[in-house]
Amino acid sequence: MSEVNHWRRVVLWWLGTSIVATLLVVFLLAPIVPPGNGSVEASGQVVDNTVLLGISTPIAMAVLVFFIYALIAFRERDTSAVVDGPPIRGDAKVQTWWLVATTGIVLFMAGYGTVRLLADGAGGGQGPNPIAAPAGARNALQVQVIAQQWKFTYRWPSYGGVETSSLELPSNRMIEFHVTSLDVIHSFWAYQLGVKADANPGFDNIAYVTTKGPMTFDVHCAELCGVWHGYMFESGRVVPPGQFSSWIAQQRLHNVPSTKSLPPYSKQYFPDPQRRGG
């Protein structure tokens, strides 16, 4: 039996590799991790991803280094005869420290995630009575997202309830999306804005986002909603406030006849069930 101090070697290998890997991941990988800096919430998600990557990389390295070390150092060199290893059946100290360490990490991550979530809702849908509303949510611009097979329509209660078929948002403004559906479950996903909120029939799902500078963003349906789900995407734009005002004014003018025949604005709609779509 060799008198090599395996523990020390594993720990040194782990320290070395995990410092390198964590630095690489945090400084090279994390900045390019989506959804990017399109909105305040999206930037927040990038920060969150960076923190999680920073925590999980050393953990992954610990397990990887251990396995690789064990597979090399403890391999049976002479497989002709079956020789048993030492009958070690456990180690209370190792088990206790493992439990303490993993519990600590988990509690930290859950606590951190909770704090980040409650700060501004992180762009996720949070039902009709959001508790994680960002500061200044009262003055947010309301946009209703009405999903149906296989299209999103946008309704603007503060602009006379006009409905538009495309989405333009003013820059540097807090938006309050009210996501609902007319038939089956959809999910409104504005990728670069870091917004995702499911659309359920008869239900108002609120998500907040604070836009930054002008940009183009993709909108996808992120919940399987039938045959043409794969085609339920489009792109929207964040534009300067002046350009937005003229766009919405133009939309109101253009849509006067159809706005008149729309049902009154409501936070949820209960259309007759479309029994067999296709």
Partner 1 sequence: MTSTTIPMSARQQPAWRKLVGFNLLTGIVLAVVGWLVGSWIGARIHAPSLDYFADTGENDIGILLGYLFGVIGFLIGLGFANYPIRRLMGHPASLAEHESEGEGIARYFRLCTDHKVVSIQYIVGIGVFFLVGGINAMLIRTELLQPNVHVFGPNQYVTLVGMHGAMMMGMMTSGVLGPFANWLVPLMIGSRRMAFPRIESFTFWLLMAAGVVLVTTIFMGGFQTGWTGYQPLGDQGTAGYDAYIGFFALVGLSMCLLGFNLIVTIITMRAPGMTWNRLPIFVWSVLATALLMMLAAPMLIAALLMGAFDRTVQTAFFVASQGGSSYLFQNLFWVFGHPEVYIVALPGFGIVLELLPVFCRKPLWGYRLAVAGMLGVALLSFFVWQHHLFVSGINADLRPFYMLSTELISLPTGFIFLCAMGTMWRGRIRYSVPMLFCMGWAFNFLFGGISGVFLSDVPSDVTTHGTFFSMAHFHYTIMGGLVFTVFAAVYYWGPKMTGFNFNERLAKIHFWTLFIAFNSTFGPLFALGLMGQPRRVVTYPTHLQALNDWVSISAFCIGISMLIFLYNLIWSMLVKREPAEDNPWNSKSPEFQLPTPVPIHDFDRIPVFDADPYPYGVESAPALTPARQGA
**CA R_g for the chain:** 26
Which listed range, 11-19, 90-98, 161-169, 240-248, lies at the site for partner 1 (CB under 8 A)? 90-98
Contact call for residue 12 and partner 1 (CB under 8 A)? no
Nearest to 69 by CA among 59, 61, 77: 61
Contact 202, 271 (CB under 8 A): no
SS3 of 79-123: the string is CCCCCCCCCCCCCHHHHHHHHHHHHHHHHHHHHHHHHHHHHHHHH
Contact call for residue 5 and partner 1 (CB under 8 A)? no
Encoding tokens for residue 111? 């606590």
Q: Which is closer to partner 1, CB of 109 or CB of 137?
A: 109
Interacting residues of 210 by C-beta distance below 8 A, sequence separation 6+: 39, 40, 41, 120, 134, 172, 173, 174, 175
In angstroms, give the least distance from the CB of 103 to partner 1.
6
In angstroms, give the least distance from the CB of 111 to partner 1.
8
Nearest to 130 by CA among 42, 186, 204: 204
**Crossing angle of the two packed helices 92-120 and 40-73, in degrees rounded to 10:** 170
Q: Binding mask 155-194 vs partner 1 (x if CB under 8 A, - otherwise)?
A: ------------------------x---xxx-x-x-x--x
Which listed range, 19-27, 136-144, 223-231, 250-258, lies at the site for partner 1 (CB under 8 A)? 223-231
201 three-state secondary structure: strand
Contact call for residue 271 and partner 1 (CB under 8 A)? yes
Which listed range, 12-20, 134-142, 242-250, 265-273, lies at the site for partner 1 (CB under 8 A)? 265-273
Q: Which is closer to partner 1, CB of 160 or CB of 202?
A: 202
Contact call for residue 74 and partner 1 (CB under 8 A)? yes
Q: Which is closer to partner 1, CB of 220 or CB of 248?
A: 220
Contact call for residue 86 and partner 1 (CB under 8 A)? yes
Contact call for residue 131 and partner 1 (CB under 8 A)? yes
Residue 153 is classified by DSSP as: E
Distance separating alpha carbons of residues 42 and 192, to the nearest angstrom: 7
Distance separating alpha carbons of residues 215 and 127, to the nearest angstrom: 27
Contact call for residue 102 and partner 1 (CB under 8 A)? yes
Contact call for residue 255 and partner 1 (CB under 8 A)? no
Choice from 146, 169, 196, 210 touching partner 1 (CB under 8 A): 196
Choice from 14, 18, 125, 170 touching partner 1 (CB under 8 A): 125
Size of the site for partner 1 (CB under 8 A): 101
Contact call for residue 253 and partner 1 (CB under 8 A)? no
